[in-house]
A and B are shown apart, each in its own frame.
Chain A
């Protein structure tokens, strides 16, 4: 026996049983729009096209995202849009412990998910997210299917940071470089250091079941390594993207004055920061900001009021265009010269940057985290000082007044990481991990 992975293609050719990969996501993009959800579905669909691979997508459904009020009697599982390889798992939002990140109702694992695992017997369980499903799934997979390899893609800092996984301090909104029980207690004085320690040890113990972590950005990986994941168990793997069906046409000539924003209009995404920068900029550059995004109505009322008040004075220069569908992007991008990503938290690897690059729009972004990593200042975009409206105003001014700059940054844009390359890399990794697990079990 060779220790090398049997090439995946040969499995198909020789009639060997296909590699079964189970993807687990905390939401289904048809229920709740979101980057990680959209990526999970795209990855599943891409893998479905690969010979020798049999992917399954298990997506969580619950009362907070769907109109369905409860699971069916006796089972949390149900079908998705007639696809035999997609499955919803219903979990009660109330059963989820948002602090230790697992379900209080252990029968979810021992009665239902265990049966699901035994029914599907995946070779690889690739977790996109465990929110609402819970970290106990990790130990369960190892107990029920000891030979299965576990891959875990980290989409934000939820396992590290109780503040919605943002790593932004609660008391002064400053960016947090490092989580520790003491520092977390500073952010949440009502929660003791000891409880944060228990949380950390709990998550780390569950994470010991994971064979490989994937971080879509290096800055995210670094923070997890500092927190306690051994460097050999984590690697950077960017989100692979499917090429869009159509590319946006070139924008109108003249000054590159049109800037677009795509995403949730929230404080963390820099919603208020952009408007503040637009007021500081005034009319002198002729810049126009187009806001595409949903969920403003879900933001705190105070934030909505603040945004509305700012917008009142900017009606001729800032336009709300409301929610959009992914397929509309080429059309929406057509009018735009720039895409702005002004988040005041680290971000991971914002999908909107990849979208902008697909449509060859340079990006104006905060100079921190995943944004600074994915956009090179002066090459394919412009950095401004994160959270600083003056700095953003200056970036807007520089961007919108110089067609030459726009042209040169546009030249600097590279094609985003392709889904094909991504799936190949993942299949190599799956093969390597499956063999390693087999080896470990034989030697044990």
Chain B
């Protein structure tokens, strides 16, 4: 039997071992299931079954290298590899199917962990593993939901949060409420649900089983965010199993996985907001990790697809202005008209990021026409998919070059030329400055933004963002003093790129644009900087025009809750010295005073 040749191990490389392979079959290009050992014909142990990445053509093309999931590395001469390698179906039928139940389960566990083995997690690998699962897995009696049968199980939603975690919602009923639910992924990963799930009352289930008499529990519902050992890419084939305390075992198929990130987010937020204000164990143990991962997935998927330059971009821009565009492309015409009338824009870099990607064609046509008309150069960043407010800013910043950033909303319209230069001058002249925000006005000259602070309304556990002097007239003396404030809005925020990056940028974990700016300002504060309000620069901010009213209640509630979870203590400290109504007040600085502002 062919013996694998080994190469010396080194610290930087995976451990090399004398691993012989006696049979192998391809699961996907570059990935194979193998049985270690030399002797063909003997029934393998479950431990001998492994999944390996296969690198062909090493050793001057004469060998095949195997990177085993267990961490071992082996080299097999090519002709030997060809000899042991064969058809997957025969492999499964002859080698794996005859194993006993425990060994088959162990093999499935091995396979479940192997889905991430090919770096570009492929559907083909998942499909091969699912096919093996169908041969090897122990089938349980199918659950028939019946009001006379105490054991019942239903999974109503499986949402893909990202490739390797899911959000699941369903209900389970048994005699004593102690039954265990396990979810089995198409790639054969087994996830314990009831041990970790948030349990809640399902009045409909209680009603359905009312004929069975008094219940031990009313909390039949379960919701959980579950992490998989490797990526799961298949939408069909999830199975739920129930094992009751008396040993009854049942299984039931799950509905197809929902993958669309917007739908996943809406469902999760809907569940978080279903029982009153967002918060509590469901939000803490499931909602927050799920939404954080979902947001990361959304931004990761929203790669820069293309960057379109309109006109010759400035060589050494003093400031990069980054403007996310979402749905309301009509704002572009207004901003470009006003910017083009400002000579200061010659030294600025103007970067628009399209967050509503379905409008790429429309925007390109509009951008061409508006550039030809006004002659003001700008750049449009197109994304592979929607990134959200913070994500769009992130991509825009990646595509910009100046050492100073100005984050700007698309519905902000300047009141006069020269404002960017004035903000920049103030920024340069102020020691230890963090983020700088100007005065923002509504269309009737009342104040929209004169600095942000934090307050906890009576009876509320969570901190809210408050706007100083909001709705009062722009000439209000108290709103016309330059001063440090706890935070400024990202609707128009100037900050140096280095500092922005040191502070981690706008956090990505909030949903649908909210509280990113205040968290960024809090982080900037942690770095010993102060955030300033500059009332001499006035712009108009047509707040909230990009969103439909009403759809933001739960996202806002979630964001506020998350913000308080993360920053509550710091905010408490900060606000102890800040009176939003007293223009002489400055936010408390816990870090050492590093010098007075000019």
Chain A residues with CB under 8 Å of chain B are 100, 105-107, 109-111, 136, 139-140, 143, 180-182, 192-194, 196-198, 201-202, 205-206, 208
Chain B residues with CB below 8 A from A100, complex form: 333
11 pairs, CB–CB < 8 Å, chain A vs chain B: A105-B369, A109-B372, A110-B372, A110-B373, A143-B375, A181-B444, A182-B444, A193-B443, A194-B443, A194-B542, A197-B540
Please tell me which one of the listed residues A105, A197, A202 contacts residue B443 in the complex, with CB atoms under 8 A apart.
A197
* B542/A198 in contact, CB under 8 A: yes
* Stretch of B269-277, B291-299, B310-318, B334-342 on the interface side: B334-342
* B334/A107 in contact, CB under 8 A: no
A107-B369, A136-B373, A194-B542 known; A205+B338 contact, CB < 8 A:
yes
Chain A residues with CB below 8 A from B444, complex form: 180-182, 193
A366 to B315, CA, bound (A): 62
- Minimum CB–CB distance from B500 to chain A (whole Å) comes to 29
* B373/A198 in contact, CB under 8 A: no
Chain B residues with CB below 8 A from A140, complex form: 373
- Interface of chain B, main secondary structure: helix
- Minimum CB–CB distance from A400 to chain B (whole Å) comes to 50
A197 to B83, CA, bound (A): 77
* CB proximity to A under 8 Å, residues B357-371: 369-370
Q: Apart from A107-B372, A110-B369, list 19 A-B contacts with CB within 8 A.
A: A107-B369, A109-B372, A136-B373, A139-B341, A139-B374, A143-B374, A180-B444, A181-B443, A192-B545, A193-B443, A194-B542, A194-B545, A198-B331, A198-B413, A198-B542, A202-B334, A202-B337, A205-B338, A206-B337
A136 to B334, CA, bound (A): 12
Check B538 for interface membership: any CB of A closer than 8 A. no
A440 to B542, CA, bound (A): 35
Check B411 for interface membership: any CB of A closer than 8 A. yes
Please tell me which one of the listed residues B337, B443, B540 contacts residue A139 in the complex, with CB atoms under 8 A apart.
B337
Chain B residues with CB below 8 A from A105, complex form: 369
Chain B residues with CB under 8 Å of chain A are 330-331, 333-334, 337-338, 340-341, 369-370, 372-375, 411, 413, 443-444, 540, 542, 545
Please tell me which one of the listed residues B334, B341, B540, B545 contacts residue A208 in the complex, with CB atoms under 8 A apart.
B341
Chain A residues with CB below 8 A from B333, complex form: 100, 202
Q: Which residue of A has the minimal Cβ distance to B373? A: A106
A-B contacts counted at CB < 8 A amount to 55
A100 to B545, CA, bound (A): 17
Chain A residues with CB below 8 A from B334, complex form: 198, 201-202
- Minimum CB–CB distance from B293 to chain A (whole Å) comes to 36
- Minimum CB–CB distance from B362 to chain A (whole Å) comes to 11
Q: Which residue of A has the minimal Cβ distance to B334? A: A198
Chain A residues with CB below 8 A from B372, complex form: 106-107, 109-111
A111 to B373, CA, bound (A): 9
A182-B444, A193-B443, A194-B443 known; A201+B373 contact, CB < 8 A:
no
Chain B residues with CB below 8 A from A106, complex form: 369-370, 372-373
A107 to B371, CA, bound (A): 11
Chain B residues with CB below 8 A from A205, complex form: 337-338, 341
A202 to B374, CA, bound (A): 14
Q: Which residue of B has the minimal Cβ distance to A142? A: B341
Chain A residues with CB below 8 A from B443, complex form: 181, 193-194, 196-197
Q: Which residue of A has the minimal Cβ distance to B341? A: A205
- Minimum CB–CB distance from A422 to chain B (whole Å) comes to 32
Q: Which of B370, B373, B375 has the most CB of A within 10 A?
A: B373
Chain B residues with CB below 8 A from A110, complex form: 369, 372-373
A201 to B375, CA, bound (A): 20
A192 to B330, CA, bound (A): 14
Chain A residues with CB below 8 A from B331, complex form: 198
A400 to B477, CA, bound (A): 63
A109 to B444, CA, bound (A): 32
* A197/B337 in contact, CB under 8 A: no
A140 to B372, CA, bound (A): 10
Q: Which residue of A has the minimal Cβ distance to B545? A: A194
Q: Which of A106, A109, A143, A206 has the most CB of B within 10 A?
A: A106
Please tell me which one of the listed residues A139, A193, A194, A197 contacts residue B373 in the complex, with CB atoms under 8 A apart.
A139
* B374/A201 in contact, CB under 8 A: no
Which 4 A-B residue pairings sit nearest by Cβ, starting from the closest? A106-B369, A197-B443, A194-B542, A110-B372
A100 to B331, CA, bound (A): 12
Please tell me which one of the listed residues A107, A111, A136, A201 contacts residue B413 in the complex, with CB atoms under 8 A apart.
A201
A390 to B545, CA, bound (A): 47
* B411/A194 in contact, CB under 8 A: yes
Chain A residues with CB below 8 A from B413, complex form: 198, 201
Q: Which residue of B has the minimal Cβ distance to A180? A: B444
Chain A residues with CB below 8 A from B330, complex form: 198
- Minimum CB–CB distance from A192 to chain B (whole Å) comes to 7
Q: Which residue of A has the minimal Cβ distance to B543? A: A194
* A109/B337 in contact, CB under 8 A: no
Chain A residues with CB below 8 A from B341, complex form: 139, 205, 208
- Minimum CB–CB distance from B202 to chain A (whole Å) comes to 42
Chain A residues with CB below 8 A from B540, complex form: 197, 201
* A201/B370 in contact, CB under 8 A: no
Chain B residues with CB below 8 A from A193, complex form: 443-444
Chain B residues with CB below 8 A from A194, complex form: 411, 443, 542, 545
Q: Which of B338, B413, B443 has the most CB of A within 10 A?
A: B443
A106 to B341, CA, bound (A): 17
A196 to B413, CA, bound (A): 13
- Minimum CB–CB distance from B444 to chain A (whole Å) comes to 6
A139 to B341, CA, bound (A): 9
Q: Which residue of B has the minimal Cβ distance to A199? A: B334
Q: Which residue of A has the minimal Cβ distance to B370? A: A106
A206 to B370, CA, bound (A): 14
Please tell me which one of the listed residues B340, B373, B542 contacts residue A109 in the complex, with CB atoms under 8 A apart.
B373
- Minimum CB–CB distance from B29 to chain A (whole Å) comes to 50
- Minimum CB–CB distance from A207 to chain B (whole Å) comes to 11
Chain B residues with CB below 8 A from A208, complex form: 341
A106 to B372, CA, bound (A): 8
Please tell me which one of the listed residues A180, A181, A201 contacts residue B338 in the complex, with CB atoms under 8 A apart.
A201
A140 to B370, CA, bound (A): 11
- Minimum CB–CB distance from B580 to chain A (whole Å) comes to 26
A139 to B334, CA, bound (A): 13
- Minimum CB–CB distance from B474 to chain A (whole Å) comes to 14
- Minimum CB–CB distance from A21 to chain B (whole Å) comes to 24
- Minimum CB–CB distance from B365 to chain A (whole Å) comes to 9
Chain B residues with CB below 8 A from A109, complex form: 372-373
- Minimum CB–CB distance from B361 to chain A (whole Å) comes to 15
Chain B residues with CB below 8 A from A139, complex form: 337, 340-341, 373-374
A350 to B334, CA, bound (A): 34
- Minimum CB–CB distance from A159 to chain B (whole Å) comes to 15
Chain A residues with CB below 8 A from B370, complex form: 106
Chain B residues with CB below 8 A from A143, complex form: 374-375
A198 to B443, CA, bound (A): 8
Chain A residues with CB below 8 A from B542, complex form: 194, 197-198
A202 to B443, CA, bound (A): 13
Chain B residues with CB below 8 A from A198, complex form: 330-331, 334, 413, 542
Q: Which residue of B has the minimal Cβ distance to A198? A: B334
- Minimum CB–CB distance from A403 to chain B (whole Å) comes to 56
Q: Which residue of A has the minimal Cβ distance to B369? A: A106
A136 to B337, CA, bound (A): 9
A405 to B370, CA, bound (A): 61
A21 to B282, CA, bound (A): 74
Q: Which residue of B has the minimal Cβ distance to A208? A: B341
